[in-house]
Structures are given as structure tokens and as C-alpha cells.
């Protein structure tokens, strides 16, 4: 017997009958039928939304190939179906599922670290991290490349998919009919997975695409919107639509709404200062004053002041003079806490402290900036941001772009040679809010409610234990 679409379907039925495992979904059944019945294609390049049962499906394919495939293995060797993933921990989770399937099928096996060895044949499964050095050496009868648009090399910068797939193909060179699964949710228009998908069906591969709710009909489209309200992220992660390499981050209509006047009710809930310091040259030294306030339309993050120093300001004013001017403005508005990034943070902490203001550094990292951009985009989309009329900030918001680099990472900044010094104030404020530094923040309130709910659940468990005589203190 050899591995075919029919053996895969029989395997799927057995797993459902004996182990209670969910069967393959209709979209996956049709996709796999088309792949297995293709006369020459050994690769399946699938673009599928998150939660689309990609991992479970790839495990069933690997079982089919290991249990029913005809693979010549020289004496003394063991050949593998290899799982390559973002990290070895991610890939190792597949071994747990494989063990569950093997137990349901009554197959004997042994688990050793990152491998599973089949008892009745010199075959097994091995998990590897997405590093070129990891995928060099073992002989493979096939492999699964999982979420390869999200892969990162050891330095966390470049996506090594092209090199890792080349090494994986070399692992399988002694098995010409080795099957290769390249399954991922999409990212941009320049990564290796996008390139392979764009080739379409060829003699050596077939391609398939499905949003989450088609690949996995137990999830509805509305559920994916509930999980991810950000439209851009939703389209990429769940609708399985790759993102253009460069897109405006904020919607013009949402920006216009943020500059409309609001009627505040009562005093601010604690104003804070935010700054984006600069050593001069091309950048501006910007600052703003913000607070969560009740308005006639609900609670809003209100910026009561946005200003800055532009042009060749460093030739007329010292850094100490700039801090003094900003500090006086902050104190006039009741600000006692100031937030900014790590640039010149040691000097700024000392300088602001001389004016009775406490400066807190908010480190700008790639992931933190990405989360902050998403937060500001949500504030704008939900009408939670109120900004004073400011031509330069309006222009910067309209020109602010999100880019996906060829290495698969996100970068944000002004279009062309433009500036984003005022947008930086909003991003720093978003990071400070996420850290719980802004009084009256809905984010802060939600975190407290979550903590209270967790404490309440713990109290209920303790009460039950006490009633049962298990817990006493």
C-alpha cells in the first residue's frame, strides 16, 4: 500500500471514530484531494487564515505519509517527517498531537526529546526551529513549514524562509516524491511564501487560499471580527489577504473626526505630559498634554495642547532652556508626570526633576511601536481621540505609513522624506496608557476589572475548598 487520498480519508475516519478527533473540513478535503490526485505536484502552498486548522491538517498528512508511504530507508538509518516552525517549542506542540493520533490508531512508538520514532518501521517525526543550521543533516520523507511568513532568523531581523526551505528540500533529496507543506497566514507582498503562492499551480506545486471561516466552518466570520476589531490586521490574519508593502496607517475620515471640537464634562482625570525629544538637525522637539476626560459623547483621550520647536532651534536654545519652557507649560496645566522615549532619558530625567516634574522613560521597541500604532488606529476609528487644531499633526497623520519590508518585519514612519515627530506624541501616549500610567483610562479600568474577576474566581474556589474541608488558613 502507498499513501493516497483514499488512505488519508480512511485515516481521518478512524481518528474520528476511535479518538473522537474532528474530521478534516470540507475545504481541506477538496484541497487535499486535488493535491494527492495531481500527477506530479509534491508541494502544497496554502494561504489560510489563523484558526483554519492548518496544524491539525498537516499532522494528518504526515501520518498518512509515515504510516502508508513506501520509503526506502537504508539499514541503520531512520528517516523523518520534519516539522519546521517559528520556534522549536511551537513545533514541539505538533508532537503532542501526533502522539494523541498514534494512541487512537493503536500504533506503537517512542518519544525522545524532539522526536517520535515509529516502532514498526525506521520512520518518525522530528521538530526543528526555522534556522538554516537546524535543517541540515536529517533525511526527510517530507516536511511541514508552519506559518513561514512569521519566521525570523536568530538575530530576529530577517525572514530565513527561502534558505530554510532550500535546506529542507535538500534533506528530502533522496525521496523524490517527498511531500512538502508550506502553509501560512499571509503577511506582505514580498516574502517567500507570497512569492511561491504567486507562481500558482505548476508541475511541482498546487496553491490554495481560504479565510478562517471557510477553512474551518466551526468559526464564523463574525467571531473573527470580534477577536480582531482592527480591520487591517483582521484582513491579513483571518481573511487571508496579504497586505500591500506600504499603506497609510490612519483613515482620513477618522483623522478628521479627531480634530472636531468636543464638549468636556468636569475636570480632567489627571493630565500628563508627553514629549518627543530631538537633538536638532532635521527633527522637531515636540510635546503635548493629554488626559482622559468625560465629554458629551463619552470618555475621550483629550490633547489640550500640542506644540514643538522646529527648524534650526538648536542654534538659538540649549537643551536646558527647552526643558525649562516645556516644564513651565506643563506646570501651568497641572502636569506632574512626563513620558518620553529612551532618547536622552538620563539627561531629561534630571532636567525635569529640577522643575519638580517626574520623567518616565517609555522604551520604544519594534513590538511596542507596532502595538502603539494599532492602539492609536483603534482610538481614531472608535472616535476616542480628541485633538486640538494642528496643521502639522494633521499632515503627519495623513502621511504616516506602515511598511512591510522584504524581510517580513513592520516599519512605521512618514512618507518619503516627511516627519512624524508629532505622531510620536500619540504613540508614546498609547504606550504609557498600555502600561497603566494614564488616570481614568478605560484600558486601566479593564485591567483592574480583569484582576478583580480573577480574584473573585479565586475567592470562590477557596470558599468551595473550605466548605469541603480541604483548605484552611
Look up cell 458629551; give the residue: 296
Grid cell locating 298 = 463619552
Which pLDDT value is given to residue 366? 82
More confident: 41 or 19: 41
pLDDT at 157: 55
Q: What is the mean pLDDT of the chain?
A: 87
- Per-residue pLDDT at 408: 65
- pLDDT value at 361 more than 90: yes
Dump pLDDT digits (tens) for 236-254. Answer: 999 999 887 667 888 888 9
DSSP state of 2: -
| pLDDT level of residue 310 (50, 70, 90 thresholds) | confident
Q: Of all helices (H) and strands (E), which one includes residue 205?
A: strand 205-210
46 strand-pairing partners: 183, 208
Residue that has been written with the C-alpha cell 511531500 in this structure: 179
Q: What are phi and psi of 399, to 5 degrees?
A: -100, 0
Q: Which helix (H) or strand (E) holds 186?
A: none
Return the closest-CA partner of residue 91 out of 201, 169, 14, 168. Answer: 168
Using the predicted structure, report yes or no on whether residue 279 has a pLDDT greater than 70. no
- Cβ distance 146 to 184 under 8 Å? yes
Render the burial of 378-412: b for 16+ CB within 10 Å, e for the rest. ebbbeebbbbeebebbbbbbbbbbbbbeeebbbeb
Nearest to 85 by CA among 49, 35, 126: 126
Query: Is a pLDDT exceeding 90 seen at residue 434?
Result: yes
Per-residue model confidence (pLDDT) at position 150: 83
CA distances from 178 to 41, 43, 71, 97 (A): 10, 9, 9, 22
Other CB atoms within 10 A of residue 316 CB = 9
Q: What is the pLDDT of residue 154?
A: 56
Residues near 233 by beta carbon (within 8 Å), at least 6 away in sequence: 374
Please indicate, yes or no, whether the overall pTM of this predicted structure exceeds 0.75.
no
pLDDT band, very low/low/confident/very high, at 448 (cuts 50, 70, 90): very low
Alpha carbons 108 and 116: distance in angstroms, whole number:
10
Of 3-12, 254-263, 441-450, least confident by mean pLDDT is 441-450
Amino acid at each position: 500500500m502507498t499513501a493516497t487520498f483514499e488512505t488519508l480519508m480512511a485515516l481521518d475516519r478512524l481518528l474520528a471514530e476511535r479518538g473522537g478527533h474532528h474530521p478534516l473540513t470540507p475545504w481541506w478535503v477538496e484541497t487535499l484531494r486535488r493535491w494527492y490526485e495531481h500527477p506530479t505536484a509534491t508541494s502544497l502552498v496554502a494561504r489560510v487564515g489563523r484558526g483554519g486548522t492548518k496544524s491539525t491538517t498537516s499532522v494528518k498528512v504526515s501520518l498518512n505519509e509515515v504510516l502508508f508511504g513506501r520509503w526506502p530507508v537504508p539499514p541503520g538509518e531512520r528517516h523523518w517527517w520534519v516539522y519546521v516552525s517559528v520556534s522549536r517549542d511551537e513545533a514541539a506542540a505538533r508532537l503532542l498531537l501526533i502522539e494523541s493520533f498514534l494512541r487512537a490508531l493503536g500504533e506503537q512508538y517512542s518519544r525522545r526529546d524532539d522526536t517520535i520514532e515509529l516502532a514498526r518501521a525506521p520512520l518518525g517525526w522530528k521538530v526543528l526551529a526555522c534556522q538554516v543550521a537546524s535543517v541540515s543533516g536529517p533525511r526527510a520523507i517530507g516536511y511541514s513549514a508552519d506559518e513561514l511568513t512569521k519566521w525570523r532568523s536568530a538575530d530576529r531581523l530577517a525572514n530565513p524562509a527561502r534558505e530554510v526551505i532550500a535546506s529542507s528540500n535538500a534533506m528530502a533529496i533522496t525521496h523524490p516524491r517527498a511531500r512538502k507543506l508550506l502553509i501560512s497566514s499571509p503577511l506582505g507582498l514580498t516574502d517567500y511564501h507570497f512569492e511561491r503562492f504567486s507562481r500558482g499551480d505548476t508541475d511541482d506545486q498546487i496553491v490554495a487560499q481560504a479565510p478562517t471561516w471557510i477553512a474551518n466552518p466551526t468559526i464564523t466570520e463574525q467571531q473573527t471580527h470580534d477577536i480582531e476589531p482592527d480591520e487591517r490586521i483582521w484582513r491579513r490574519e483571518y481573511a487571508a489577504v496579504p497586505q500591500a508593502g506600504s499603506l497609510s496607517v490612519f483613515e482620513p475620515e477618522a483623522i478628521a473626526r479627531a480634530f472636531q471640537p468636543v464638549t468636556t464634562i468636569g475636570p480632567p482625570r489627571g493630565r500628563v505630559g508627553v514629549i518627543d525629544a530631538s537633538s536638532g538637525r532635521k527633527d522637531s522637539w515636540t510635546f503635548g498634554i493629554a488626559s482622559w476626560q468625560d465629554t458629551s459623547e463619552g470618555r475621550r483621550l483629550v490633547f489640550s495642547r500640542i506644540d514643538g520647536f522646529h527648524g534650526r532651534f538648536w542654534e538659538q536654545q540649549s537643551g536646558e532652556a527647552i526643558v525649562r519652557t516645556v516644564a513651565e507649560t506643563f506646570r501651568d496645566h497641572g502636569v506632574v508626570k512626563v513620558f518620553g522615549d529612551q532618547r536622552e532619558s538620563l539627561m531629561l530625567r534630571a532636567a525635569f526633576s529640577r522643575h519638580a516634574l517626574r520623567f518616565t522613560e517609555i522604551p520604544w521597541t519594534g513590538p511596542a511601536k507596532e502595538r502603539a500604532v494599532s492602539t492609536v488606529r483603534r482610538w481614531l476609528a472608535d472616535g476616542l481621540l480628541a485633538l486640538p487644531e494642528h496643521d502639522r499633526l494633521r499632515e503627519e497623520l495623513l502621511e504616516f505609513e506602515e511598511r512591510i519590508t522584504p524581510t517580513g518585519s513592520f516599519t512605521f514612519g512618514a512618507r518619503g522624506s516627511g516627519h512624524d515627530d508629532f505622531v510620536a506624541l500619540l504613540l508614546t501616549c498609547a504606550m504609557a496608557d498600555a502600561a497603566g500610567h494614564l488616570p481614568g483610562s478605560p484600558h486601566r479600568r479593564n485591567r483592574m476589572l480583569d484582576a478583580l474577576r480573577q480574584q473573585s474566581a479565586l475567592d470562590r474556589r477557596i470558599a468551595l475548598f473550605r466548605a469541603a474541608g480541604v483548605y484552611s488558613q
